[in-house]
């Protein structure tokens, strides 16, 4: 009996932890499409103004490193003058969510 209780407690705490990580598609829609566009092309108004890379382009994807993508998402992006171009998402997204987003972006390649 005790064993079953412990097991079900373990299982439910596991489910709670999993529920905290939002799916990458939701995180992308909620935080990133404003600039990068839903398809990652950066072809919207903001994307054009900011001259964003087109993540549907295989050559663009090949030139990007996963670690730089993680760094950009966690630390944000600044221009040479130190002005913020993309905010840091390290307080909004867990490490797992950031990694999921990198994988999600990798899938945008056409």
Using CB under 6 A, list all residues that contact ligand HEC.
31-32, 34-36, 46, 50, 52-53, 64, 68-69, 72-73, 77, 85-86, 89, 101, 105
Helix (H) or strand (E) holding 62: helix 58-63
List CB contacts of 102: < 8 A, sequence separation 6 or more: 66, 69, 70, 73
Minimum CB distance to ligand HEC smaller for 9 or for 77: 77
**Min separation Cβ 68 and ligand HEC, Å:** 4
Minimum CB distance to ligand HEC smaller for 25 or for 77: 77
**Min separation Cβ 17 and ligand HEC, Å:** 21
Query: What is the Cα–Cα distance from 61 to 108, expressed in whole angstroms?
Result: 9
Minimum CB distance to ligand HEC smaller for 68 or for 95: 68
Instruction: Tell me whether residue 35 is exposed, middle or buried, using C-beta atoms within 10 angstroms of its C-beta: 0 to 12, 13 to 18, 19 or more.
Output: middle
């Amino acid at each position: 009996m005790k064993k079953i209780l412990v097991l079900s407690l373990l299982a439910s705490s596991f489910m709670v932890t999993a529920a905290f990580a939002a799916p990458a598609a939701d995180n992308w829609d909620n935080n990133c499409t404003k600039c990068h566009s839903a398809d990652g092309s950066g072809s919207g108004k903001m994307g054009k103004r900011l001259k964003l890379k087109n993540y549907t382009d295989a050559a663009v994807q090949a030139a990007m490193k996963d670690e730089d993508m993680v760094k950009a998402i966690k630390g944000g992006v600044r221009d040479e003058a130190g002005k913020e171009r993309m905010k840091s998402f390290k307080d909004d997204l867990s490490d797992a969510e950031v990694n999921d987003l990198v994988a999600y972006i990798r899938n945008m390649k056409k």
